[in-house]
Chain A
Amino acid sequence: MATLQRVASSLSTSASSYGSCKDAGADVTVSDQFPAGLRVLVVDDDITCLRLLEKMLCRCLYHDGTDTTNRERGFYREGVTTCSQATAALKLLRERKGYFDVVLSDVHMPDMDGFKLLELVGLEMDLPVIMMSADGRTSAVMRGIRHGACDYLIKPIREEELKNIWQHVIRKKWNENKEQEHSGSFEDNDCYKQGNDDIENASSVNEGGEEGVLKGQKKRNIAKEEDDNELENDDPSASKKPRVVWSVELHQQFVCAVNQLGIDSTIFNDPLFLIARKLSLRVTVSFAQRNFLATISEAVPKRILELMNVPGLTRENVASHLQKFRLYLKRLSGVAQQGGISNTFCGLMDSNVKVNPFGRFDIQTLDASGQIPPQTLAALHAELFGRPTGSLVTTVDQPALLQASMQGLKCIPVEHGVAFGQPLVKCQSNISKHFPRNVISFEDVASGFGAWPSNSVGTVGPSSNLGGMNGQNSNMLMDILQQQKQQQQSQQQSPLSEPSRSINVQPSCLVVPSQSSATFQAGNSPASVDHNCSYNRSAMIDYSLLSPQLNNSSLNIGQISNGDLKTTGVSGYSGSVSITPLSPCSVNPDNTSQQGRSSTMAIQVGRQLPGFVPNISNFQGSYSAKSSEVLDQRPLRNLGFVGKCTSIPSRLAVDEFESTMSNLDHEKIYMDISGNKVKQEPSIEFVDNARVGIPILQQLPPSPSDLMSVFTE
């Protein structure tokens, strides 16, 4: 009970600290049944049930007699929020990150499937979700479990059943706490954001070096507050450890790690892959997905954890996140067909996590149609991860890519000239070919950028770097994307292929697409890109534009040096290499269309220019993550692909990533996370993004939401 009390009080504390006027927690003695102060969100399209549940929960939250005062004050309803529409609920959750402790959702709803909501909530906010339904068949319950529901209640629901829902909240928290070695490393953001008096936590944030990651998190750090009283970190039983919030950046890192593991082991050696690449064939999503999933299976939490190298993260954290990720990927595979889940790619937003500065690229495969299916991205990603050039991992599963991107490009370890595999996915054959070459060979650029492989071969798309490389990566990605584009366009700009990085990937700069066959040179502005790559060009230009922005706006993943970007034109967007659908390579500097779209997608699978686009979209994505807000106004629009995501992978990504991610959903809605609604145009259409002008990037406000949009898809 003591623990419970602590939890309860922490909850209440957190609640208070959160700013709500609810002080129930503080006043109410911790009941031994239900921690007061628990904030529940109920979603059900049946208003009769909704009203009933609301009443029952209110009673649970405040035990009879214990909260009289609160009730009198009219607070008794504070703990429960109801929504009759899933979309409204999602919006609410995003707007008030960290506010809710648990979500109760009906399965059958007209506007959105309850399971989909479940997945999104799990991925974006990592809250326990309890499903409800009048359908009590075993198959239905099984579905709930498979989708990750904490519990499944059968209607009619009795009050007693609701009295126990707090256990899910506690359990989750405790598990997370246990996993954490250092308490509060992730929560730091929350902590200090909330004025937590847990100074240690706050400082640990910085230690982690994940500046962006944690800061972005607006989640209420309940655990943190709990730790007030005692030393965090050490006492797992205290379970005060705040739950790990998977910020965009963190997720990007995760994706990078996963991709790296998976790809390393499987994709590149996959004969089918190689053949496809050789023939410049389009790799179907399913293949990629399959592949990706296969590779994913090799990615074990332990290894992922090692690769991520994030202090305070435990294996359990990674394991549970991996599980969700897999679900997400599966879902994406179905969606991917529809045109590139740009969302997923948002991952590019790389958080500033310093995990591999070079990160891997998030290769965003641009598919010929301009859309980079997630798989492609994944493939690209894989490629980027160090695959030797030539191995285009085109089929990189998008999800993977996304992930990578999500994690911030940082993850992408830029290894020697990573050739990003070309985004096989739908990439035009040309591109795919080149892709590998260009793949940005990331070198460890001290600047953190990871040298963009100058393969300019125009690797299309895969700007793989997007992921974690803040800045650097982004450049890489951009480069890759650009390269891809170029490739597509110029088909061979082979000359570019040389790894010399034509793209000057400036550390933090956005990936300069300059790679594209030499024309791109980093620095060169896109203009150099020939029209073929039109994308490249624009990409380049954009990037550079972006880069400066990136840097400024923190969008960047890391540190995109603005200055650099400019020259190169292609700024590595470190974060968000979103593979935005590239429109047929016409890289028109006016990508404007992109803006808004994909804001979050760092890796947007864009339909972007066949070759390149991906980059742009990425940027957008990354930016979006960052600044969802930024996007809308920004020139991103021109970028076209970027939708919001172009935001910066860096830390901004975290917050924004989330918001952007949601944006990726082809909707412009997401950008809420940071509270700025970036009106973005359909994020997914990065196409035409080639234009992504860099300027846009700059503007992109870090909006993690973008990154998250990936998931929202």
Chain B
Amino acid sequence: MDSVVLLQRQLVDYTAQLFNEGFLDDQFNQLQQLQDESNPDFVVEVVTLFFEDSERLLNELAKALEQQSIDYRKIDAHVHQLKGSSSSIGAQRVQKVCIAFRNYCEERNIEGCQKCLQQVKNEYSLVKTKLETLFKLEQQVLAAGGSIPWPM
């Protein structure tokens, strides 16, 4: 039981940290609230979808920016979508970079776009790592017989 409590404490702390650092926002709470007995893996499921979709979008973006003649509209569409999905799961920092990215797109500022692409890739890997760690912790809690203290 101690271990469970310890693990739970760890989980809670880690989650709070993510919120504090701006990696996650309230929308993530919404996600957690949607998880229930009928859908015990809902959060993991949705976040996994997000990962897949984002990776695809990031690839597309990289390709688009490498073109000779850049199609800003397409880039904007991709960024818009990335912004939408990241905001849906609460990946706040990714979303913020997307906003800046879109602005550069409108200005047709290629350097700005490339810089943003790099930034968004970084933020994405960061949040991905953090969420994966979070899920692992959750698993540990559950494995130890505890329950996940959502919502926080």
**Does A55 interact with chain B (Cβ within 8 Å)?**
yes
B85 contacts A49, C-beta separation under 8 Å:
yes
B83 contacts A48, C-beta separation under 8 Å:
no
Residue of A nearest to B53 (CB): A48
| Cα–Cα distance between A157 and B31 once the two chains are bound (Å) | 11
| Cα–Cα distance between A156 and B28 once the two chains are bound (Å) | 10
- Note all chain A residues with C-beta closer than 8 A to B90: 156
Chain B binding surface, main DSSP class: helix
| Cα–Cα distance between A76 and B50 once the two chains are bound (Å) | 24
Residue of A nearest to B37 (CB): A71
From B33, B81, B89, give the contact of A45 (CB < 8 A). B81
**B15-68 CB contacts (< 8 Å) to partner A:** 27, 30-31, 33-34, 38-39, 42, 45-46, 49-50, 53
- Note all chain B residues with C-beta closer than 8 A to A55: 34, 39, 42, 46
From B38, B80, B88, give the contact of A156 (CB < 8 A). B88
Q: A76-B38, A134-B83 are contacts. A48–B46 as well, Cβ < 8 Å?
A: yes
Min distance, Cβ B29 to any Cβ of chain A, angstroms: 10
From A51, A59, A134, give the contact of B87 (CB < 8 A). A134
**Does A272 interact with chain B (Cβ within 8 Å)?**
no
Q: A46-B88, A155-B87, A156-B87 are contacts. A52–B46 as well, Cβ < 8 Å?
A: yes
Min distance, Cβ B96 to any Cβ of chain A, angstroms: 13
**Does A159 interact with chain B (Cβ within 8 Å)?**
yes
Per-residue interface assignment for chain A, residues 115 to 155, with 1 indicating a CB less than 8 Å from any chain B CB and 0 otherwise:
00000000000000000011100000000000000000001
B46 contacts A71, C-beta separation under 8 Å:
no
| Cα–Cα distance between A88 and B30 once the two chains are bound (Å) | 29
- Note all chain B residues with C-beta closer than 8 A to A133: 84
Min distance, Cβ B117 to any Cβ of chain A, angstroms: 18
Min distance, Cβ A574 to any Cβ of chain B, angstroms: 46
Residue of A nearest to B83 (CB): A134
B53 contacts A46, C-beta separation under 8 Å:
yes
Per-residue interface assignment for chain A, residues 31 to 49, with 1 indicating a CB less than 8 Å from any chain B CB and 0 otherwise:
0000000000000011111
| Cα–Cα distance between A381 and B80 once the two chains are bound (Å) | 44
**Does B77 interact with chain A (Cβ within 8 Å)?**
yes
Total residue contacts A-B, CB cutoff 8 A: 60
A108 contacts B77, C-beta separation under 8 Å:
yes
- Note all chain A residues with C-beta closer than 8 A to B80: 108, 134-135
- Note all chain A residues with C-beta closer than 8 A to B42: 55
- Note all chain B residues with C-beta closer than 8 A to A46: 53, 81, 84-85, 88
B88 contacts A155, C-beta separation under 8 Å:
yes
- Note all chain B residues with C-beta closer than 8 A to A157: 88
B84 contacts A47, C-beta separation under 8 Å:
no
- Note all chain A residues with C-beta closer than 8 A to B87: 134, 155-156
Per-residue interface assignment for chain B, residues 74 to 86, with 1 indicating a CB less than 8 Å from any chain A CB and 0 otherwise:
0001001101110
| Cα–Cα distance between A135 and B38 once the two chains are bound (Å) | 32
Most buried by A among B31, B77, B84, B87: B84
Per-residue interface assignment for chain A, residues 42 to 82, with 1 indicating a CB less than 8 Å from any chain B CB and 0 otherwise:
00011111011001100100000000000100001000000
From B34, B38, B45, give the contact of A56 (CB < 8 A). B34
B34 contacts A59, C-beta separation under 8 Å:
yes
A48 contacts B34, C-beta separation under 8 Å:
no
B85 contacts A159, C-beta separation under 8 Å:
no
**Does A171 interact with chain B (Cβ within 8 Å)?**
no
- Note all chain A residues with C-beta closer than 8 A to B31: 52
| Cα–Cα distance between A106 and B85 once the two chains are bound (Å) | 12
Q: A48-B49, A51-B49, A156-B87 are contacts. A108–B81 as well, Cβ < 8 Å?
A: yes
Q: A55-B39, A55-B42 are contacts. A49–B84 as well, Cβ < 8 Å?
A: yes
A48 contacts B85, C-beta separation under 8 Å:
yes
- Note all chain B residues with C-beta closer than 8 A to A134: 80, 83-84, 87
- Note all chain B residues with C-beta closer than 8 A to A51: 45-46, 49
A48 contacts B50, C-beta separation under 8 Å:
yes
- Note all chain A residues with C-beta closer than 8 A to B34: 52, 55-56, 59, 159
**A260-318 CB contacts (< 8 Å) to partner B:** none
Min distance, Cβ A74 to any Cβ of chain B, angstroms: 9
- Note all chain A residues with C-beta closer than 8 A to B83: 134
| Cα–Cα distance between A285 and B63 once the two chains are bound (Å) | 41
| Cα–Cα distance between A157 and B88 once the two chains are bound (Å) | 7
| Cα–Cα distance between A52 and B33 once the two chains are bound (Å) | 11
Residue of A nearest to B87 (CB): A156
Min distance, Cβ B55 to any Cβ of chain A, angstroms: 12
- Note all chain B residues with C-beta closer than 8 A to A155: 84, 87-88
| Cα–Cα distance between A158 and B25 once the two chains are bound (Å) | 13
Most buried by B among A49, A108, A156: A156
Residue of A nearest to B57 (CB): A46
| Cα–Cα distance between A158 and B27 once the two chains are bound (Å) | 8
B88 contacts A47, C-beta separation under 8 Å:
no
Min distance, Cβ A265 to any Cβ of chain B, angstroms: 43
- Note all chain B residues with C-beta closer than 8 A to A71: 38
B81 contacts A156, C-beta separation under 8 Å:
no
| Cα–Cα distance between A135 and B76 once the two chains are bound (Å) | 12
Per-residue interface assignment for chain A, residues 96 to 107, with 1 indicating a CB less than 8 Å from any chain B CB and 0 otherwise:
000000000010
| Cα–Cα distance between A383 and B88 once the two chains are bound (Å) | 54
| Cα–Cα distance between A49 and B81 once the two chains are bound (Å) | 10
Min distance, Cβ A366 to any Cβ of chain B, angstroms: 38
Per-residue interface assignment for chain A, residues 214 to 239, with 1 indicating a CB less than 8 Å from any chain B CB and 0 otherwise:
00000000000000000000000000
| Cα–Cα distance between A76 and B45 once the two chains are bound (Å) | 18
- Note all chain B residues with C-beta closer than 8 A to A47: 49, 53
- Note all chain B residues with C-beta closer than 8 A to A156: 27, 30, 84, 87-88, 90
| Cα–Cα distance between A47 and B85 once the two chains are bound (Å) | 8
Most buried by B among A48, A51, A59, A76: A48
| Cα–Cα distance between A55 and B49 once the two chains are bound (Å) | 14
Binding site for A on B (CB under 8 A): 27, 30-31, 33-34, 38-39, 42, 45-46, 49-50, 53, 77, 80-81, 83-85, 87-90
Subset of 28 A-B contacts with CB under 8 Å: A45-B81, A46-B53, A46-B88, A48-B46, A48-B53, A49-B84, A49-B85, A51-B46, A52-B46, A52-B88, A52-B89, A55-B39, A55-B42, A56-B34, A76-B38, A106-B84, A108-B81, A110-B77, A134-B80, A134-B83, A155-B84, A155-B87, A156-B30, A156-B87, A156-B90, A158-B27, A159-B30, A159-B34
6 closest A-B pairs by CB:
A134-B84, A48-B85, A156-B87, A48-B50, A156-B27, A48-B49
Beyond A48-B89, A108-B80, A110-B77: 20 further Cβ-contacts under 8 Å? A46-B81, A46-B88, A48-B46, A48-B50, A49-B84, A51-B45, A51-B49, A52-B88, A55-B42, A76-B38, A108-B77, A133-B84, A134-B80, A134-B84, A155-B84, A156-B87, A157-B88, A158-B30, A159-B30, A159-B33
